[in-house]
A and B are shown apart, each in its own frame.
Chain A
Amino acid sequence: MEVTITKTDDKNMVVLNGRIDTTNADQFMADVQPLMQPDAGDVEIDCSEMSYTSSQGLRVFLMLQKSVMARQKKMVLKNMKPQVKEVFDITGFSNIITIQ
């Protein structure tokens, strides 16, 4: 899993590449820490190259969502593969996270 974060004025453009699973969920959590800082702006995540996530990945997305809401910013996940989207749908995460 590769996480690329590009920061502009008040927005973080994020690109995820690969799988989030038991082998790298902790690393993924560490990689997104900059997006949870008090002064971090909005978050836009390109998920087009994210091929898989387990519940451990969902846990990180939930923490991101809570962090963004707490500082009254917005997060959007874009271009999600249908199989990955289904995991967000089944777990109700599609209702609490904006997916476009």
Chain B
Amino acid sequence: MKKRFDPIKDKSAEIIEYLMSSPDMPDDEGLLFKIRLSIEEAVENVVRYAYQTGNGWMEVSTSLDKQNFDLTIELRDAGTPFNPLDRDDPDITLPAEERNIGGLGIFLCKQLMDSINYRYEDGCNILTMVKSVHIA
């Protein structure tokens, strides 16, 4: 399923709930926790930072490959070109005094999803996250 949200300012919660309500979501609490957290971090990144004016649109979609049970979540926006995957991972070995919160959201996405890809196409940032939802 797919939906375009415009405007997106202050709409994070609504966009997250839309994606989580998809029939493509697995019926597994542990998987849903990881998927929700990844979606929240990725959606927040767009809502907060994609548009310099603070407002614009975002199109979100889910799809499920019924052959191998790969769930794909795609976020698309027309904001400032920005590849969140270019950013260095936070150094998680630093002591508390030296830790800061930057980059933690996208790092969580990388860790919790099976794969995450970014491309810039037709004037749009496109972030794609894939998670296997096959339950043995």
Chain A residues proximal to chain B, CB less than 8 Å: 21-23, 52, 54-56, 58-59, 62, 65-66, 69, 83, 87, 90-92, 95-97
Tell me the bound Cα distance from A95 to B13 in angstroms. 30
Interface centre among A23, A54, A69 (most CB of B within 10 A): A54
Tell me the bound Cα distance from A86 to B100 in angstroms. 19
Asked if B41 contacts A91 (CB within 8 A), the reply is no
Closest beta carbon of chain A to B113's beta carbon, Å: 12
Binds A, one of B57-65, B71-79, B102-110, B120-128: B102-110
B86 within 8 A of A: no
Tell me the bound Cα distance from A90 to B104 in angstroms. 10
Closest beta carbon of chain A to B85's beta carbon, Å: 16
Asked if B30 contacts A83 (CB within 8 A), the reply is yes
24 contacts between A and B (CB under 8 A): A22-B16, A23-B12, A52-B33, A55-B41, A55-B105, A55-B108, A56-B44, A58-B104, A62-B99, A62-B101, A65-B96, A66-B97, A87-B108, A90-B108, A91-B90, A91-B107, A91-B108, A92-B92, A92-B93, A92-B94, A92-B99, A96-B95, A96-B96, A97-B96
Determine the residue in chain A with the shortest Cβ distance to B109.
A55
Asked if A54 contacts B101 (CB within 8 A), the reply is no
Asked if A95 contacts B97 (CB within 8 A), the reply is no
With A21-B40, A22-B40 given, is the CB distance from A54 to B96 under 8 Å? no
B131 within 8 A of A: no
Q: Mark B7-36, 1 if CB is under 8 A from A, else 0.
A: 000001100100000000000011001001
Residues of A within 8 A of B105 (CB): 54-55
Residues of A within 8 A of B90 (CB): 91-92
Asked if A54 contacts B92 (CB within 8 A), the reply is no
Determine the residue in chain B with the shortest Cβ distance to A68.
B96
Residues of A within 8 A of B93 (CB): 92, 95
B116 within 8 A of A: no
Closest beta carbon of chain B to A38's beta carbon, Å: 18
10 cross-chain pairs, A with B, having the tightest CB-CB distances, nearest first? A92-B92, A96-B96, A59-B101, A55-B105, A55-B104, A22-B12, A90-B111, A83-B33, A65-B96, A23-B13
